[in-house]
Amino acid sequence: MSPRGYLGDLEEIVLLAVARCEPEAYGMRIRQEIEDRSGRSVAIGAVYAVLERLEDKHYIRRVEPPQGTNRDPRARRFFGITPAGKTAVEETAALRDRLWSGLRLRRGGKTS
């Protein structure tokens, strides 16, 4: 995607969580994944707000629920990462790598 497509903090985390959870990536599952991996508790509303933003940026898209899940349209919305989304995560990671390269900081410094 375009260079302005660098991801925000939480955006990157949610996008990676979507990629990890696929094809079971829905709101609460994603929230749980983040909590499990980062030990950070995230509110469900925040997850949805970020999902919405990512969808608007075409980094994720709505996908059919996996076979055998509840088809109630009101219930879970499943997401999948798009090629643009993959590029965006990769570019963000690459940016971070470029910024890190040659840098020697004490471990435990302010990174995420």
Residues that bind another protein (CB under 8 A): 26-28, 31-32, 41-46, 48-50, 52-53, 56, 74-77
User: For another protein, which is the closer residue by CB, 74 or 107?
Assistant: 74
Using CA atoms in the order 58, 64, 66, 69, what is the torsion angle rounded to 10 degrees? Answer: 120
**One-letter amino acid of 61:** R
* Least distance from another protein to the Cβ atom of residue 78, Å: 11
* Least distance from another protein to the Cβ atom of residue 16, Å: 19
Compute φ and ψ for 81, nearest 5 degrees.
Answer: -80, 140
* Least distance from another protein to the Cβ atom of residue 23, Å: 17
CB 51 within 8 A of CB 14: yes
CB 30 within 8 A of CB 85: no
User: For another protein, which is the closer residue by CB, 23 or 96?
Assistant: 23
* Least distance from another protein to the Cβ atom of residue 17, Å: 15
User: For another protein, which is the closer residue by CB, 32 or 82?
Assistant: 32
Rounded Cα gap, residues 41 and 38, in angstroms: 8
